[in-house]
A = this chain, B = another copy of it.
Amino acid sequence: MSRKLEKGFIQLYTGNGKGKTTAAIGQAVRAAGYGLKTYIVQFMKEYPYNELNSLKNLSDWITIEQVCKDDFVFRKEKPPQEEIDKADNALIKAKDKMCSGSYDIIILDEVFVSIYFGLLKTDTILEFINGKPENAELILTGRYAPQEIIDQADLVTEMKEIKHYYTKGVLARRGIES
């Protein structure tokens, strides 16, 4: 059964701890169970994030698009113009999904990291927020959320790392971290 939100808010998950992307994914899964449709854009997360495989089973409710590589970060370079254009186009597409009413929840995953590394501009996201229809929920995730965007959000959670096994030398594990 398909339903609609009465009123949508802006949720923001930031901080250096684990759980930002998984919280957003879990939120989409919960919403799907109620009959709400979610459109997810994952920035800088091409392959091999395994949520992609699972969400195929919920494709009536959840659409997920991955956009932009993150290899320029590892090369310690500015993002190539081609990637900046891709990020902007992904936002235009997401805005269309949000405004057309075909989706109830829009998730921009790792949007703040994308701003931090120069793929997107804070102003572009503020404009995106500004265009949010009353009954759409917007979820933004990533480290380094700019204060101007925090100011616009209704719900802000900081995932704060208290203890992490990375400090014990454990590497990211497939199926867990990606």
Q: Which A residues are within 8 Å of any B CB, using their own CB?
A: 3, 5-7, 9, 11, 13, 15, 17-27, 29-36, 49-55, 57-58, 61, 104, 137, 150, 153-165, 168, 170, 173-176, 178
Instruction: State the CA gap A154–B32 with chains docked (Å).
Output: 31
Kindly list chain B residues whose C-beta atoms are within 8 Å of the C-beta of A50: 30-34
| Tally of this chain's copies | 2
12 A-B pairs (CB sep. < 8 Å): A9-B170, A18-B155, A23-B23, A27-B176, A29-B51, A30-B54, A30-B176, A32-B53, A33-B49, A33-B51, A157-B159, A158-B162
Q: How far is the CB of A171 from chain B (nearest CB, A)?
A: 11
Nearest B residue to A163 via CB reads B156
